[in-house]
């Protein structure tokens, strides 16, 4: 039971890390290597407001979300859209986007180092609560609930609203979506901005229980990439399922075998999925 | 405050552009001093607490009194800083550049044990003294034999483990604890070396290691580790940990309400941010390092650190870093010229008056250092050390409230 509860909470963390990238890569077709840095930026905002103004991270996320949305929208409009327009093919765009966002990640690391080079450490709701007989930290549980809310919200929106349907259409085929009157550029910008907002909110929440620093973003980018690729690009259910698998397996391995083997287990699963289902759990086969 | 933020912004901008950042003194003759340490990458969070601010303080103090007296004239320090991105390869390249391109007169020590060992050959080859601070190793003898310009000041792996075991022994003798010890370590050079040293030492001292696990650096959820440790029902909990997991393990211990009389985490326990984050819960936590904040010289240093850099010094290696700079300063002025072999010899032969008292080297190793400290009412105080004054009594950890 401990394993299931802790594993699900860890899955919530991983879902927060990966859902944003899933939208950005799945719909806007931007392989955003600055994803982890954006997450750390959200964490920095949360840390900084908590330490200087004693503002609860649970309030900070309502500030972080619109700011990150606007910031990412601007980044897409002015930095990435020119790349999208001149790209001759999907592959071409991916290479350009990877290079551009990789550079962006350095700028963001530099900015964050100049603001606060030390560890973002503070204590917020570390107290224990008991869930199904298992002790967990309240801050992790809250992050999990919000991850569930964001995941469910995105799923419902994508599958049960018109803009959501348009978004999925863009994810499947930008050309065809354009032919049926969907403003692909606008939809992509919207997806990129939403993804950014989700990632930054995730960072703000994660900072309550993981100690981050300005340079740690790349670890989260890696994790997000693994989850997105495992789950299948452009499908929010895939990212969530992949996060759950990783969370539970890592916790089970840490508890039953050895904490030293968690990374091995995670990469083993990743390898197996790449071998037997290269398109990801929910991905479509490339046509 | 404003000055500090503009300076920091400049550092950030320089970093963003991937350029080096130098603080040039204006006019007059200068002495060029180079420093390479992480400003980004995994160790940056530590070096921006312990390493860089103390260098900034030292340069501003020396230049504030008119510079170093070399060749009969006062020379202002021109500091050239490079970011090694926490990458040994980058580190070596930057040191090479400082020596060949910038033609520095002196080099300051790197940050982190691995970087000292990586850099020692190039310092030795070019005759630069390397007064190590943040390097803890049991290989001091063989390293100093191999590298005649290398000096150690922060102690050895076994001294750090030994300090902890002394505390356990005292408590066991007093009947406070039994002999059940839970031990975890980060699966990284430092954590592995510490755990390997601790295992036989604990066993010889009659302790039963009831939980002994490692976890990878950057583990996002340490609660399975803490649950396992708690289930082993230990009297003492020891973690040979690095900064992110030092904080993570403490959070997990609070959540799980790990009821032990001794709770030890290693690196970063001495950071002011640790006490800042955990407040009263930190009370009684023991960790690597320590200092005597009541000593007037240390107190004056800590105050100057706050005034000049706008951030508090840590309760451990910050002071040692300043000591290393004082040793270099006194050796350069003592020799009177930039004659590096003579300066190295001077460091070997002389006693230095520092904020930690008199320091001298025996076979290039100084045996004056703190090994264990404890958070007591918001201050991290040294409780065990070698040849240091002002150690306070260890308190028994009682709960996390």
Mean pLDDT value of segment B254-264? 94
Q: How close does chain B come to A40, measured CA to CA in Å?
A: 13
Core vs surface per residue B199-213: b (16+ CB within 10 A) or e? eeebeeeebebbbbb
Q: Is A214 on the interface with B (CB under 8 A)?
A: yes
- The CA distances from residue B30 to A246, B26, B68, B102, B109, in Å, are 57, 9, 9, 13, 20
Instruction: Return the C-alpha torsion angle B292, B298, B300, B302, nearest 10.
Output: -80
Write down the pLDDT at residue B293. 94
Could you tell me if A257 lies within 8 Å of chain B, comparing CB atoms?
A: no
Write out the residue limits of the CATH 3.40.50.2300 domain(s) in chain B: 2-156+294-370, 157-292+371-386
- Residues B270, B287: contact at Cβ < 8 Å? yes
Rounded to the nearest integer, the mean pLDDT of chain B is 91
Mind telling me how many Å the CA of A238 is from chain B's nearest CA? 21
A120-140 CB burial, b ≥16 within 10 A, e <16: bbbbbbbebeeeeebbbbbbb
| B contact test, residue of A50, A121, A133, A134 with most B CBs within 10 A | A121
Residue A88 in any domain: the answer is: yes
**Which of A13, A110, A126 minimises the CB distance to B15?**
A110
**ipTM (interface predicted TM):** 0.88
Q: Is residue B255's pLDDT more than 50? A: yes
State how far the alpha carbon of A254 is from the alpha carbons of B50, B112, B190, B212, B213, in Å: 33, 29, 21, 13, 10
Three-state SS for B180? strand
A13 touches chain B (CB under 8 A): yes
CA pair distance B168, B175, nearest whole angstrom = 10
Mean pLDDT of B227-234: 95
CA distance A281 to A283: 6
Taking an 8 Å cut-off on Cβ atoms, the answer to whether A122 and B277 are in contact is yes
CB atoms closer than 10 angstroms to residue A151: 20
Question: Which residue of A52, A120, A210 to mutate against B (max B Cβ within 10 Å)?
Answer: A210
Whole-angstrom distance, CA of residue A245 vs CA of residue B256: 24
| CA dist., res. B136 & res. B155, Å (int) | 6
How close is the nearest chain A Cα to the Cα of B376, in Å? 18
Query: At what angle are helices B52-64 and B296-309 packed, to 10 degrees?
Result: 90
Vertex A55: Cα angle to A49 and A57 (nearest 5): 85
Q: Flag whether pLDDT at B92 surpasses 60.
A: yes
Rg (CA), chain A: 18
d(CA A87, nearest CA chain B) in Å = 27
Q: What is the tens place of the pLDDT at every residue in A15-55?
A: 999 999 999 998 888 999 999 999 999 999 999 999 999 99
CATH of domain B157-292+371-386: 3.40.50.2300
What residue in A sits closest to B253 (Cα-Cα)?
A126
Asked if A213's CB is within 8 angstroms of B187's CB, the reply is no
Architecture label for domain B2-156+294-370: 3-Layer(aba) Sandwich (3.40)
Q: What is the mean pLDDT of residues B176-182?
A: 95
Q: Which residue in the block uniquely carries the two structure tokens 């790197």?
A: B110
pLDDT value at residue A285: 59
A133 reaches B (C-beta below 8 A): no
Domain assignment present for A239: no
B contact test, residue of A122, A254, A265, A266 with most B CBs within 10 A: A254
Tokens of A141: 């549980």
User: Is any Cβ of chain B less than 8 angstroms from the Cβ of A9?
Assistant: yes
Question: How many domains in chain A?
Answer: 1
CA distance A30 to A43: 23
**pTM recorded for the entire structure:** 0.88
Domain of A25, in residue numbers: 16-216
- Share of residues in chain B with pLDDT > 70 (%): 93
pLDDT in tens, B370-394: 999 999 999 999 999 999 999 999 9
Please report which confidence band the pLDDT of residue A157 belongs to, taking 50, 70 and 90 as the band edges. Answer: very high
**CB nearest B225 (choices: A140, A209, A259):** A259
Does residue A189 fall inside a structural domain? yes
Across A115-119, A121-125, B145-149, the highest mean pLDDT is recorded for B145-149
CA distance B334 to B337: 8
The reported pLDDT for the residue numbered B310 is: 93
A67, part of any domain:
yes
* pLDDT band at residue B12 using 50, 70 and 90 as cut-offs: very low
Q: Do B244 and A213 touch (CB under 8 A)?
A: yes
pLDDT at A280: 85
The listed range with the strongest mean pLDDT (A167-176, B67-76, B230-239) is B230-239
Distance set, CA B336 to CA A184, B76, B339, B386 (Å): 71, 14, 8, 32
For residue A108, which of A42, A50, A57 has the smallest C-alpha distance? A42
| Residue A237 domain flag | no
Q: Which of A110, A212, A256, A263 to mutate to test the interface with B (most CBs of B within 10 A)?
A: A110
pLDDT band per the 50, 70, 90 thresholds, residue B16:
very low
State how far residue A149 is from chain B, nearest Cα, in angstroms.
21
**Residues in contact with A127: Cβ distance below 8 Å, sequence separation at least 6, in sequence order:** A137, A138, B254, B255
Phi and psi at residue B286, to the nearest 5°: -105, 155
pLDDT reported for residue A287: 44
pLDDT at residue B137 is higher than 50: yes
Q: How far is it, in rounded angstroms, from Cα B128 to Cα B142? A: 19
User: Residues B24-53: pLDDT tens digits?
Assistant: 444 468 999 999 999 988 888 899 999 999
Residue ranges of alpha helices (H) inside chain A are 2-26, 35-53, 57-74, 81-86, 90-115, 138-160, 162-172, 174-179, 184-206, 217-231, 236-252, 262-276
């Amino acid at each position: 039971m401990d394993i299931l509860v802790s594993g699900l909470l860890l899955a919530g963390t991983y879902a927060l890390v990966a859902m944003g990238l899933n939208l950005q890569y799945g719909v806007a077709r931007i392989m955003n290597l600055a994803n982890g840095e954006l997450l750390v930026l959200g964490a920095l905002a949360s840390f900084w407001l908590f330490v200087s103004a004693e503002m609860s991270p649970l309030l900070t996320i309502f500030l972080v979300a619109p700011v990150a949305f606007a910031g990412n929208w601007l980044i897409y409009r002015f930095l990435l859209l020119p790349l999208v327009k001149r790209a001759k093919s999907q592959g071409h765009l991916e290479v350009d986007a990877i290079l551009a966002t990789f550079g962006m990640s350095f700028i963001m690391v530099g900015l964050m180092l100049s603001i606060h080079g030390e560890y973002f450490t503070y204590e917020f709701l570390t107290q224990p609560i008991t869930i199904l007989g298992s002790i967990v930290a309240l801050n992790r549980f809250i992050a999990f609930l919000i991850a569930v809310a964001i995941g469910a919200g995105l799923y419902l929106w994508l599958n049960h609203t018109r803009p959501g349907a348009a978004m999925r259409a863009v994810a499947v085929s930008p050309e065809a979506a354009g032919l049926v009157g969907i403003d692909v550029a606008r939809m992509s910008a919207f997806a990129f901005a939403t993804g950014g907002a989700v990632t930054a909110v995730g960072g703000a929440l994660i900072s309550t229980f993981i100690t981050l620093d300005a340079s740690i973003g790349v670890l989260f980018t890696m994790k997000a990439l693994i989850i997105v690729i495992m789950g299948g690009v452009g499908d929010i259910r895939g990212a969530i399922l992949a996060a759950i698998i990783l969370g539970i397996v890592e916790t089970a391995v840490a508890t039953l075998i050895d904490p030293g083997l968690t990374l091995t287990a995670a990469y083993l699963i990743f390898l197996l999925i790449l071998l037997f289902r290269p398109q990801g759990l929910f991905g479509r086969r490339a046509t | 405050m404003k000055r500090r933020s503009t300076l920091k912004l400049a550092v950030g901008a320089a970093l963003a552009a991937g350029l080096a950042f130098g603080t040039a003194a204006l006019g007059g003759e200068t002495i060029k001093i180079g420093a390479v340490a992480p400003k980004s990458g995994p160790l940056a969070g530590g070096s921006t607490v312990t390493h860089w601010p103390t260098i900034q303080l030292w340069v501003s103090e020396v230049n504030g009194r008119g510079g170093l007296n070399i060749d009969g004239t006062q020379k202002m320090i021109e500091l050239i800083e490079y970011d090694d991105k926490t990458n040994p390869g980058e580190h070596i390249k930057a040191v090479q550049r400082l020596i060949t391109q910038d033609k520095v007169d002196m080099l300051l020590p790197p940050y982190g044990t691995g970087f000292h060992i990586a850099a020692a050959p190039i310092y030795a080859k070019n005759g630069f003294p390397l007064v190590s601070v943040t390097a803890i190793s049991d290989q001091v003898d063989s390293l100093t034999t191999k590298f005649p310009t290398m000096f150690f000041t922060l102690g050895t792996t076994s001294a750090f483990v030994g300090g902890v075991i002394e505390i356990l022994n005292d408590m066991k003798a007093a009947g406070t604890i039994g002999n059940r010890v839970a031990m975890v370590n980060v699966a990284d050079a430092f954590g592995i070396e510490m755990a390997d040293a601790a295992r036989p030492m604990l066993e010889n001292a009659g302790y039963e290691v009831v939980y002994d696990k490692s976890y990878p650096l950057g583990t996002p959820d340490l609660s399975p580790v803490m649950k396992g440790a708690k289930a082993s029902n230990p009297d003492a909990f020891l973690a040979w940990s690095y900064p992110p997991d030092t904080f993570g393990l403490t959070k997990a211990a609070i959540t799980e309400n790990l009821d032990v009389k001794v709770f030890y985490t290693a690196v970063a326990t001495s950071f002011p941010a640790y006490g800042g984050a955990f407040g009263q819960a930190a009370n009684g936590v023991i960790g690597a390092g320590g200092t005597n904040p009541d000593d007037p010289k240390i107190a004056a240093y800590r105050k100057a650190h706050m005034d000049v850099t706008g951030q508090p010094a840590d309760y451990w290696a910050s002071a040692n870093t300043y000591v290393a700079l004082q040793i270099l300063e006194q050796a350069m002025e003592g020799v009177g010229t930039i004659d590096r072999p003579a300066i190295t010899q001077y460091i070997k032969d002389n006693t230095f008056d520092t904020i930690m008292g008199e320091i001298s080297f025996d076979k290039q190793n100084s045996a004056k250092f703190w090994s264990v400290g404890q958070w007591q009412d918001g201050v991290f105080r040294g409780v065990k050390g070698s040849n240091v004054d002002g150690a306070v009594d260890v308190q028994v950890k009682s709960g996390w409230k």
